[in-house]
Structure 1
Amino acid sequence: MHIHGLIEDSATLANLCARLANKPYVCVDTEFMRENSYWPELCLIQIADDEEAAAIDPMAPGIDLTPLLDLMVDNEEVLKVFHAGGQDIEIVYNLTGKTPHPLFDTQVAAMALGLGEQIGYSNLVDTYLGFTIDKGARFTDWSRRPLDKRQIDYAIADVTHLSKIFPKMLEKLKKTGRGAWLDQEMERLADPENYHNDPDEAWQRVRVSSRKPEVLGRLKALARWRELEAQGKDLPRGRIVKDETLADLAGNPPRKQSDLGKVRGLSAAWAGNDIGGRLMAALDGSEPMSTAEMPPRDDRKPSLGKDGALVADLLKLLLKIRAKEINVAPRLLARSDDLESLAAGVRDGLAILEGWRYEQFGRDALNLVEGQLGFTVKNGKLKMTRTEEPAA
C-alpha cells in the first residue's frame, strides 16, 4: 500500500479524491477536538482504499476540502466505511448538511458476526489482523501544529487497518448470509435527522422530574436559549449553564434578574449582565408545553401487569438463548421495548415481527407468548420445546 503522509494542499487532495472516486469503497476516520467548543474542531481526516492511504490536514491554510466532501456525500458509487462512525458522520453533516452515503460501520457489522454490541477498534484489529495496535498517540492534541511523523503514522494506521478488515468482514457476511441483516441499521446510521441539532428539541436532553406543562415549557425555552448561546460562543453547552441548573430554573423560575445572583450554579454577575438578561427574556417568553409535544407517560405504554412482566422476562431469556445459538449480538435481534410490547399484546409495528428478525427470533417469540413454545431443561441445558403446533 502506498502511504502519502500528510496532504496540505488542494491540488494533491483533488488528485487523490479523483482516484478514490472510482474505487468501490474508502475507509474514513477523523481526529477532532471538542472539549472546549460547541462544534467539534476538525483536525485531521484519514482516508484509504486497498491501494493507498493519506491523512488530510483540514487546518492547512487555503486547502479546499470540496473534492473530499463531494466524495463523502454526493458519490453514491463509493461505499464509505467507518468504525463507530457516529461522530465522524456528525462532522461531515456539520460541514455539508448531508451525511456520507452509502456507508458501512464495522462496529455495527460486528454485531451480526458475534463480536458483541460495541466492539472497540483495537479489539477488532486484534480479532481480524492478529496484532495489538500502538495506543501511544491516543491523547494527542490534534489541533497543534506541526504534527510529527509518529502522530501522522498513528492516525493513518487507523484506516489502513480498516481497509484490510472490511473485506474480511464483508466476505464473512456473504458466507453467513447476514449482509441484509445490516441494511436497516446502516440506513438508520446515515439518516441526517440523527445529526440535525434543533434548538427547539434541546430540552429533551435535560432530565427533569416534573411533568407540569408550564415547567416543561420553561425548560424548552431555557434549553433553546442555552443552545443558541453555546453555538454563538462556540462553547460546550455545559459551560453556559449545567443541566441541573437549567432544570432548577425551569422548576423554580426567578421573578426578576437580580434573583439570578442567588441561583446555585450561576455567577453572581448574571444578576446584572447581558447574558442574565437574555436568560430572563427566554423565561419571560416561555409558554406551557402543548399537549402534542408533552413526552409520553411511562404508564401510556401497553400495560404489562405482573403476569406480563414475567412473560417479558421469558422473552428476554429466549432472546439470550437465540442470540447465543446464532452468534449474534442480542441488541441487533430485538430491543427491550419490543419484547415488552409483544408481552403486552401488541402485534403491529414491531421490528421483531418483520423480515429477518421474524425468521430468526420473532416467530418463536410470538409462539412463546401464545403458548405454543415453552422452556425445558435437558442434560443440564435450557432448551425450547414445542407444546402445541402453531395455528395456521
Structure 2
Amino acid sequence: MHIHPLITDSATLANLCARLADAPFVCVDTEFMRESTFYPELCLIQIADTEEAAAIDPMAPGLDMKPLLDLLTDNEDVLKVFHAGGQDLEIVYNLTGKTPHPLFDTQVAAMALGQGEQIGYSNLVDSWLGIAVDKGARFTDWSRRPLDARQIEYAIGDVTHLAAIFPKMLERLKKTGRGGWLDQEMERLGDPANYANDPDLAWKRVRISGRKPDVLGRLKAIARWRELEAQGKDLPRGRIMKDETVADLAGHPPKKQVDLARVRGLSATWAQNDIGKRLMTAIDSAEPLSAEEMPPRDDRKPGLGKDGALVADLLKLLLKIRARDIDVAPRLLARGEELELLAAGQRTNLAILDGWRYDQFGHDALDLVEGRLAFAVLDGKLTMTRTERTA
C-alpha cells in the first residue's frame, strides 16, 4: 500500500479524492480535540482504500476540504468504513449538516460476529490481523504543529489496518449470512438526527427526579440557555454550568438575580454580571412543559408490575442464552426496553417481532411469555424446552 506524506494542499487532496471516488470502499478515521471546546476541533483526517492511504491536515492554511467532504457525504458508490465512528460522524455532520453514507462500522459488525458489544480498535486489529497496535501516541495533542513522523504513522495505521480487516469481516458476514442483520444498526448510526445539537432537546440529557411540568419546563429553558451559551462561546456545556446545577435551579429557582450568589456550582459574580442576567431571563420566561413533551414514566410499561418485571427478567435470561448459542452480542438481538414492553403485553412496533430478530430470538421470546417455552437444566447446562402447552 502506498502511504502519502501529510497532505496540506488543495490540489493534492483533490487528486486523492478523485482516485478514491472509484474505490468500492474507503476507511476513515479522525483525530480531534474537544476538552476545551463545545464542538470537537478537527485536527487530522486519515483515509485509505486497498491501494493508498493518507493523512490530511485540516488545519493547513487555505486547504479546500470540499472534495473530501463531498466524497464522504455525497458519493453513494463508495462505502465509508469506520470503527466506533460516532464521533467521526459528528465531526462530518458539524462541517456539512450531513453524515457519511453508505456507512459500515466495524464495531457494530463485530457484534454480529460474536466479538462483544464494544470491541476496541486495538483488540479488533489483534483478533483479525494478529498485530499489536502501538498505543504510544494515543494521548497526543493533535492540534499542535508540526506533527512528527511517528504521530502521522500512528494515525494512518488506524485506516490501513481497517482496510485489511474490512474485506475479511465482510467475507465472514457473507459466510454466516449475517450481513443483513446490520442494515438497521448502520442506518440508525448514520441518522443525522443523532448529531444535531437542538437546544430545545438539550434538557433530555439532564437527569432530574420528579415529573412536575413547571420544574421540567424550567429544566428545558435552562438547558436551552446553557446550550446556546456553550455554542456561542464554543465551550463545553460543563464549563458554563454542570448538569447538577441545571437540575438544582430547575427544582429550586432563585427569585432574583442576587440569589444566584448562593447557588452551589455558580460563581458569586453571577449575581451581578450579564451571564447571570441572561440566566434569570431564561428562568423567568420558562413555561410548564406541555403534556406532549412530558417524558414517559419509569413504569411506562402498562401493567408490567412485579410479575411482569419477573417475566422481563426471564426474557433477559433467554436473551443471554440465545446470544450465547448463536455467538452474537445480546444488544444486537434485543434491547432491554423491548423485553419489558413484550412482558407488559405489547405485540406491535417491536423490532424483535420482525425480520431476522424474530427468527433468531423474538419467536422464542414470544413463546416464553405466552407459556410455550420454559427453562430446563440438561446435563448441567441451562437450556430452553417446549412445554406440553405447545401441543
User: Is residue 175 from structure 1 mapped to residue 175 from structure 2 by the alignment?
Assistant: yes
**What is the CA distance between 1:68 and its match in structure 2?**
0.1
User: What SS does the aligned partner of 2:364 have?
Assistant: helix
User: Is residue 65 from structure 1 mapped to residue 82 from structure 2 by the alignment?
Assistant: no
Which whole-Å deviations, capped at 9, do the CAs of 1:140-187 have from their partners, x for residues lacking one? 000000000000000000000000000000000000000000000000
User: What SS does the aligned partner of 1:325 have?
Assistant: helix
Aligned to 1:286: 286
Partner amino acid, structure 2, of 1:216 = L
Q: Distance in 2 between matches of 1:335 and 1:211?
A: 25
Aligned to 1:154: 154
Which whole-Å deviations, capped at 9, do the CAs of 1:89-126 have from their partners, x for residues lacking one? 00000000000000000000000000000000000000
User: Is residue 132 from structure 1 mapped to residue 117 from structure 2 by the alignment?
Assistant: no
Q: Distance in 1 between matches of 2:239 and 2:324?
A: 44
Q: After superposition, where does 1:48-87 map in structure 2 within 5 Å?
A: 48-87=48-87
Partner amino acid, structure 1, of 2:87 = Q
Q: Distance in 2 between matches of 1:308 and 1:204?
A: 27
Q: Distance in 2 between matches of 1:238 and 1:244?
A: 10
User: Is residue 110 from structure 1 mapped to residue 113 from structure 2 by the alignment?
Assistant: no
Q: Distance in 2 between matches of 1:297 and 1:319?
A: 25
Contact 1:5 1:153 in 2 (8 A): no
Q: Distance in 2 between matches of 1:61 and 1:314?
A: 59
Q: Distance in 2 between matches of 1:310 and 1:275?
A: 50
User: What SS does the aligned partner of 1:298 have?
Assistant: coil
Aligned to 2:94: 94
User: Is residue 231 from structure 1 mapped to residue 231 from structure 2 by the alignment?
Assistant: yes
Aligned to 2:202: 202
Which whole-Å deviations, capped at 9, do the CAs of 1:62-87 have from their partners, x for residues lacking one? 00000000000000000000000000
**What is the CA distance between 1:300 and its match in structure 2?**
2.8
Q: Distance in 2 between matches of 1:7 and 1:57?
A: 6
**What is the CA distance between 1:389 and its match in structure 2?**
6.6
C-alpha RMSD over aligned residues: 1.0
User: Is residue 272 from structure 1 mapped to residue 275 from structure 2 by the alignment?
Assistant: no
Aligned residues: 391
User: What SS does the aligned partner of 1:6 have?
Assistant: coil
Partner amino acid, structure 2, of 1:53 = A
Q: After superposition, where does 1:313-324 map in structure 2 within 5 Å?
A: 313-324=313-324
Aligned to 1:349: 349
Contact 1:78 1:102 in 2 (8 A): yes
Q: Distance in 2 between matches of 1:383 and 1:300?
A: 31
User: What SS does the aligned partner of 2:114 have?
Assistant: coil
Partner amino acid, structure 2, of 1:343 = A
State which drifts further: 115-124 or 240-249. 240-249
**What is the CA distance between 1:249 and its match in structure 2?**
1.0
Q: Distance in 1 between matches of 2:42 and 2:134?
A: 22
**What is the CA distance between 1:310 and its match in structure 2?**
2.0
State which drifts further: 191-200 or 376-385. 376-385
State which drifts further: 120-129 or 211-220. 211-220
User: What SS does the aligned partner of 1:30 have?
Assistant: strand
Which whole-Å deviations, capped at 9, do the CAs of 1:273-330 have from their partners, x for residues lacking one? 1111111111111111111111111233222223222222221111111111100001
Q: Distance in 2 between matches of 1:69 and 1:383?
A: 50
Aligned to 1:27: 27
User: What SS does the aligned partner of 1:300 have?
Assistant: coil
User: Is residue 187 from structure 1 mapped to residue 194 from structure 2 by the alignment?
Assistant: no
Q: Distance in 2 between matches of 1:79 and 1:122?
A: 22
Structure 2 runs not aligned, ≥5 long: none
Q: Distance in 2 between matches of 1:309 and 1:217?
A: 31
Structure 1 runs not aligned, ≥5 long: none
Aligned to 1:365: 365
Q: Distance in 2 between matches of 1:177 and 1:240?
A: 49
Q: Distance in 1 between matches of 2:361 and 2:243?
A: 40
The TM-score with structure 1 as length reference comes to 0.98
Q: Distance in 2 between matches of 1:300 and 1:103?
A: 34
**What is the CA distance between 1:272 and its match in structure 2?**
0.9
User: What SS does the aligned partner of 2:296 have?
Assistant: coil
Partner amino acid, structure 1, of 2:101 = H
State which drifts further: 126-135 or 303-312. 303-312
State which drifts further: 368-377 or 356-365. 368-377
Q: 1:116 to 1:194 in 2, by over 3 A?
A: same
Q: Distance in 2 between matches of 1:329 and 1:138?
A: 27
Contact 1:373 1:388 in 2 (8 A): no
User: Is residue 374 from structure 1 mapped to residue 374 from structure 2 by the alignment?
Assistant: yes
Partner amino acid, structure 1, of 2:171 = E
Contact 1:210 1:251 in 2 (8 A): no
Q: Distance in 1 between matches of 2:74 and 2:384?
A: 49
Contact 2:301 2:340 in 1 (8 A): no
Q: 1:11 to 1:351 in 2, by over 3 A?
A: same
Residue identity over aligned pairs, in percent, reads: 80
Partner amino acid, structure 2, of 1:253 = P
**What is the CA distance between 1:390 and its match in structure 2?**
4.4
Contact 1:218 1:283 in 2 (8 A): yes
Q: 1:389 to 1:26 in 2, by over 3 A?
A: farther
User: What SS does the aligned partner of 1:7 have?
Assistant: coil
User: What SS does the aligned partner of 1:215 have?
Assistant: helix
State which drifts further: 63-72 or 373-382. 373-382
Q: Distance in 1 between matches of 2:283 and 2:331?
A: 41
